[in-house]
Structure 1
């Protein structure tokens, strides 16, 4: 899952990035409305965590522009303005959820998972191909009755391929899903992740394969 955090407090942004990365999430940081719009125009995100008090305006003003760009993307407002009137205003402006500071990371994660379940772009919650099962809610993969333990990057590759099983996924789409825009990407990094993932699928007895489409990307399918 790749999220955009629109937050001008660098300490808060750093803490959230560290916390969410432990749950295999990619977090891009935009410190202002202008940065957020540029990020949304150039990258694909599964959700937005939005502060209100930004240096170039109220974060709520971003929501109509988000809807114009990507109408279905979930937006959760995260702000110190937590009274009833402010929460109502945020929801009426189009926010999908509203969480007041201070907050527990576990509650933020639960709210994000709930939003993803309601998003039409995220269903279904489980993908099955052959004896491989990927649960997008728990973000766990199993082959038969065995759990497939993967480091974060490989898990994100498998998650992206599983969402689009049977369809070719372009390299650029995979890189968008696996790396934040501040990450340094070596030319062969994605191929290395795919190679290690292939080996682990083979070793655990999965009857699926990651097929390379030269010059285009990868395809998750039943093994031939």
Structure 2
């Protein structure tokens, strides 16, 4: 584990240092709560938190810290999980299967043009109509869903679409 990854994660004793946990939430720091002996774990965790009980094996600790560091990517780039949930910053939205299929290349090439023909092929493979009107309707519905998480699908006239922050 690199020092950079370990430095991005704050280790906080729970519940003794609950005020430090709150500061981490406000500042958007990654936080690994070390639950003290006999104390119950926290009821709810943010996306940027995890918890362990001591003693913890070094390999397990490293895995938890790496997982937390990987979540930090969500602050700057959207992530579409296999269950059909799109995460971006501190928000998430559940999408339909067709929306996920259309969004996958937009997320994979975030900030880059995805050509209309590529999205039309996705619609064809899913069994939906792939006409220009059908594609525009699917994009319109996708735009509405993405507003919730602060993302937009922008038209690149005559070429395709770009996924970007609002």
TM-score by length of structure 1 reads 0.36
Larger Rg: 2
